[in-house]
């Protein structure tokens, strides 16, 4: 959410930013919030004047009572009563306008960074750099679900009976490999100086409103019936929500955290749930990284964070590339974002395994997260990035380490977490 003062003083810039995001239907919002803000400020001035008059009359009443002028005091009290009635009406109107103003402001997208490429959707995202040599072996690589099934590592039929489409059982060494990746990701980030956290897996609606747009919430979040609680779609939500309403000491910045959580997503939209495989599912697990910092340090942290994800996947023998998200592919709260994509030797193409974003002070403004500096309090910047999300990360490791005999070579970095195993093989 933008600062209303910024919108007032930069109306055309805000409108141009909306056009760059191809959301022209939101253009009228800019003039609407400016008008509502004017109405709100007018009511505030009127209310302040009434309160000033009330205080003055109250002082007069006190003097009249001391002078035993009861009749005059009674008339003055009637004046105070009328002022209170007017104030109540103004405060109610101001409350309604404030609510309407906030709702409209929350729909106006954040100002994107000048380096963001302009494009309508993800087809306009721009490749930045490749890391590692993408290899296609001279033998066929089956579909990942078939590889895992041949190793007795998956049961989607039973999950369909217990939970429906979009769920799965992982078993045996495949389940162990899945957990090994998450444990390695945890230790990888701890070694980078991040503090490990396990957050609540449910959050209240005021936190949801603070960390994401309404459209994202409708498409992603599962709501708990008869409770003001939502299942998290990513641990970033509860991790940022942890600082709601807090004032952080400037010397404690940056705050660098890495969090584990299961994630739950409705996955509403054009992509849908994958019938056979594990690429798009309702439930998965993820290791995330979150940073709160000064605005002047945000871009440096953004570049460090996506590079950590690249380094993580390269340590697992997975070639990756980074893709700059264009303006139309950015969620409304984001200033800049890039995807990390892993090489799929089966598809001979890359697929998304993580996303890194800097959101400026948008989440901090919604959640009132400030730092206390020498010159007063200021809003912090927030960033988030995927270390690894499974089972997408699992798919990448399986495909890039698949052997001709149907076995999977376990990357050296994961072998300790697999009890020293070097390979997952078919069992007789």
User: To which residue do tokens 């641990």 refer?
Assistant: 235
Residue 268: per-residue pLDDT: 61
Q: Is 116 within a domain?
A: no
Structural domain ending residue among the three candidates 105, 139, 164: 105
Phi/psi for 124 (5° steps) reads: -100, 5
**Which burial class, exposed, middle or buried, applies to 302 when counting CB atoms under 10 A from its CB (0-12, 13-18, 19+)?**
buried
* Helix or strand (DSSP H, E) at 172: helix 172-191
- Measure the CA–CA gap between 203 and 317, rounded to whole angstroms: 36
Residue 28 lies in a domain: yes
Percent helix, strand and coil across the chain, each to the nearest 5 = 45, 20, 30
Same domain, 162 and 299: yes
Residues facing residue 302 across a β-bridge:
none
Cβ contact 150:406 at 8 Å: yes
Q: Are residues 282 and 314 in the same domain?
A: yes
- Class of residue 317 by CB neighbours under 10 A (exposed 0-12, middle 13-18, buried 19+): middle
Asked whether residue 176 falls in the same domain as residue 85, the answer is no
Flag whether 111 is in a domain. no
32 within some domain = yes
Q: What angle do CA 54, 56, 59 make, to 5 degrees?
A: 110
> CB count, 10 Å around CB of 35?
12
State the pLDDT at residue 1. 86
The answer to which of 173-182, 268-277, 305-314 has the lowest mean pLDDT is 268-277
What percent of the chain is predicted at pLDDT more than 70? 98
Q: Is residue 117 part of a domain?
A: no
**Is 275 found in the same domain as 399?**
yes
CB atoms within 10 A of CB 244: 18
DSSP states along 11-58: HHHHHHHHHHTT-GGGHHHHHHHHHHHHHHHHHHHHHHHHHHHHHHHH
| Pair (78, 130) in one structural domain | no
Question: How do residues 288-303 score in pLDDT, each as one tens digit?
Answer: 999 999 999 999 999 9
Last residue of a domain, one of 105, 140, 164: 105
* pLDDT at residue 396 tops 70: yes
Is the confidence at residue 270, as pLDDT, over 60?
no
- Domain range enclosing 389: 122-424
Q: CA-to-CA distance for 414 and 400, rounded, in angstroms?
A: 14
**Pairwise CA distance, residues 398 & 145, whole Å:** 10
Same domain, 134 and 165: yes
Which CATH number characterizes residue 329's domain?
Answer: 3.30.930.10
- On whether both 17 and 156 belong to a single domain, the answer is no
- Give yes or no: residues 163 and 286 share one domain: yes
Q: What is the DSSP string of 184-243?
A: HHHHHHHHTTPEEE---SEE-HHHHHHHS-HHHHHHHPEEPTTSS-EE-SSHHHHHHHTT
CA distance 354 to 342: 9
Give pLDDT, residue 220: 84
| Boundary residue ending a domain (73, 105, 137) | 105
Query: Is the domain of 280 the same as that of 339?
Result: yes
Measure the CA–CA gap between 62 and 68, rounded to whole angstroms: 10
Residue 113 in domain: no
Q: How large is the C-alpha radius of gyration of the chain? A: 27
Q: What is the pLDDT of residue 30?
A: 98
SS3 for 294? coil
Residue 112 lies in a domain: no
What CATH number did the domain enclosing 15 receive?
A: 1.10.287.40
88 and 140 together in one domain: no
pLDDT in tens, 346-375: 999 999 999 999 999 999 999 999 999 999
pTM for this predicted structure? 0.91
- Does 61 share its domain with 130? no
Whether 3 and 11 have beta carbons less than 8 Å apart is answered as no
Find the length of the chain: 428
Within a domain: 110:
no
Structural domain count, the chain = 2
Q: Are residue 158 and residue 61 in the same domain, yes or no?
A: no
Task: Output the pLDDT for position 269.
Answer: 57
| Angle in degrees, CA 169, 173, 177, rounded to 5 | 85
């Amino acid at each position: 959410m933008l600062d209303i003062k910024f919108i007032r003083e930069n109306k055309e810039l805000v409108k141009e930013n909306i056009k760059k995001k191809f959301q022209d239907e939101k253009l009228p919002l800019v003039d609407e919030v400016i008008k509502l803000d004017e109405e709100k400020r007018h009511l505030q001035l009127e209310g302040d004047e009434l309160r000033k008059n009330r205080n003055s009359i109250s002082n007069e009443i006190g003097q009249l009572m001391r002078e035993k002028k009861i009749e005059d005091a009674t008339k003055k009290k009637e004046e105070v009563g009328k002022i209170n009635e007017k104030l109540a009406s103004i405060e109610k109107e101001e409350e309604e306008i404030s609510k309407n103003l906030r709702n409209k402001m929350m729909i106006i997208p954040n100002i994107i960074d000048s380096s963001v490429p302009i494009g309508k959707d993800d087809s306009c995202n721009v490749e930045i750099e490749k890391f590692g040599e993408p290899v296609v072996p001279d033998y066929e690589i089956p579909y990942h679900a078939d590889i895992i099934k041949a190793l007795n590592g998956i049961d989607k039929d039973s999950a369909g009976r217990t939970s429906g489409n979009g769920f799965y059982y992982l078993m045996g060494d495949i389940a162990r490999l899945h957990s090994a990746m998450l444990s390695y990701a945890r230790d990888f980030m701890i070694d980078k100086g991040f503090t490990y956290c396990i957050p609540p897996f449910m959050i209240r609606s005021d936190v949801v409103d603070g960390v994401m747009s309404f459209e994202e919430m409708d498409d992603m979040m599962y709501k708990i019936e008869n409770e003001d609680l939502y299942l998290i779609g990513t641990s970033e939500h509860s991790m940022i929500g942890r600082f709601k309403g807090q004032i952080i000491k400037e010397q404690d910045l940056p705050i660098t955290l890495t969090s584990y959580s299961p994630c739950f997503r409705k996955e509403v939209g054009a992509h849908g749930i994958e019938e056979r495989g594990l690429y798009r599912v309702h439930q998965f697990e993820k290791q995330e990284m979150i940073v709160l910092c000064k605005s002047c340090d945000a871009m440096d942290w953004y570049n460090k964070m996506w590079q950590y994800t690249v380094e993580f996947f390269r340590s697992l023998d997975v070639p990756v590339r980074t893709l700059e998200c264009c303006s139309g592919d950015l969620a409304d709260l984001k200033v800049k974002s890039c995807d990390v994509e892993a090489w799929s030797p089966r598809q001979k193409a890359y697929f998304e395994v993580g996303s890194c974003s800097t959101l400026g002070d948008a989440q901090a403004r919604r959640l009132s997260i400030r730092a206390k500096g020498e010159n007063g309090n200021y809003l912090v910047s927030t960033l988030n990035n995927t270390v690894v999300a499974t089972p997408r990360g699992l798919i990448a490791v399986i495909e890039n380490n698949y052997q001709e005999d149907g076995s999977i070579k376990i990357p050296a970095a994961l072998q300790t977490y697999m009890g020293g195993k070097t390979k997952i093989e078919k069992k007789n």
